[in-house]
Amino acid sequence: MYRPQIEMGKPLFSGIHTFMHLPHVQAVENVDFAVIGVPFDTGVSYAVGARFGPSAIRTMSQRIRPISPVHNIDISEYLSGIDYGDLRVYPGYIEQSYEVIEEQLTPVFEAGIVPILLGGDHSISLPHLRAAAKKHGPVCLVHFDSHSDTGRSKFPERMWSHGAVFSYAVDEGLIDAEHSIQMGMRGSSFKANHLEDARAMGFEVLTTDDVRELAIPELCDKVKQKVGDRPVFLTFDIDFLDPVFAPGTGTPEVGGFNTYEAQKMLRGLAGLNFIGFDLVEVLPDRDTNQITALNAANIAFEFVCLLAVRRRLEQAAAEDAASVMPAL
């Protein structure tokens, strides 16, 4: 079992900055989840610098300990986890980077490991989804963001961008759009009713106003009903948060959510069949007092907790089933 290398009395600021003090190994045996950095931002449309996001998130994860009082769970009792390090990328060469990201993630998925990717810009979700679909087929997308990222190129050829990642994923059959949901969309646009493009692809799209009109438990129930027990890929763009809580991002939109709301939304999804996560668009150069990286690190911890809760539920179900089996 791999677990955080921390203990009472040992300074949390000491040692190499892996995520949550997890051991830095590139193993695929006896591993349940792997935190993986993808330092790539060639797909951005505005401000660059998210390539430094994984490093900043790891640094601000040092005070995160393995027990979640909210879920009443010690993640290390249920999961073996590692910091896999950073994937190889080619800055400035997006298609080549997509290919090598997919290539490196494929054995992770084949081993049954759930990757938690730290971006990088949101374009990294496309090779992530390509690798996931090889193992699981089309997956349900649960998408927290201020943008739908379902743009289209004006030209016959694709124009790779973090703003078009999910339209291309639908085109390639990587996403089960009819059982997917996007939430938090807001901000100005180039055309009226721009979210209708995403809805036409099959996504359920909730604007920030739509989300605000629901109580958080209602929102979480809506997500659960949408995806059921199908394989779920959760992607979280840090600009889902209001710029007050995430100034360090390349495309901020005012009128967003606070950290407590985001935590509650994620915690309410416990029990779903998550097969992959990514957290993207942290841009340290714009990050006042490292608050964005701190919030990103804690959101990634919530991802780990979701996996631990699912494992606990599975183990309890197996024990219940065993207890009612007739003796031979």
230 versus 316: the higher-pLDDT residue is: 230
Residue 322 lies in a domain: no
Residue 184 lies in a domain: no
Per-residue pLDDT, 156: 53
Residue 91 lies in a domain: yes
- Do residues 172 and 150 touch, judged by C-beta distance below 8 A? no
Q: What is the mean pLDDT of residues 82-90?
A: 97
Q: Please tell me the distance from the alpha carbon of residue 280 to that of residue 236, in angstroms, as a whole number.
A: 6
Q: What is the mean pLDDT of residues 273-294?
A: 97
Per-residue pLDDT, 323: 81
Residue 243 sits at the vertex; the CA angle it makes with 241 and 249, to the nearest 5 degrees, is: 85
Q: pLDDT digits over 22-31, tens only? A: 999 998 999 9
Residue 115 lies in a domain: yes
In which band, very low, low, confident or very high, does the pLDDT at 154 lie, cut at 50, 70 and 90? low
Token pair in block for residue 175: 């996403």
Residue 122 lies in a domain: yes
Number of domains in the chain: 1
Q: What is the mean pLDDT of residues 37-55?
A: 93
* CA dihedral over 155, 120, 114, 208, signed as positive or negative: negative
Residue 194 lies in a domain: no
Whether 159 has a pLDDT exceeding 80, the answer reads no
Coil/strand/helix, residue 162: coil
Q: At what angle do helices 216-227 and 259-267 cross, to 10 degrees?
A: 40
Whether 306 has a pLDDT exceeding 60, the answer reads yes
Q: What is the mean pLDDT of residues 134-141?
A: 98
Per-residue pLDDT, 149: 86
Q: At 108, which helix (H) or strand (E)?
A: helix 94-110
Q: Among all chains, which residue has been given the structure tokens 């990757």?
A: 115
Q: What is the mean pLDDT of residues 289-297?
A: 97
43 versus 327: the higher-pLDDT residue is: 43
Residue 88 lies in a domain: yes
| Contact partners, residue 93, CB within 8 Å, separation at least 6 | 42
Per-residue pLDDT, 289: 94
| Contact partners, residue 27, CB within 8 Å, separation at least 6 | 2, 82
Residue 135 lies in a domain: yes
Which CATH number goes with the domain that contains 287?
Answer: 3.40.800.10
Per the structure, the complete domain to which residue 252 belongs is given by 19-143+229-313
pTM equals: 0.94
In which band, very low, low, confident or very high, does the pLDDT at 94 lie, cut at 50, 70 and 90? very high
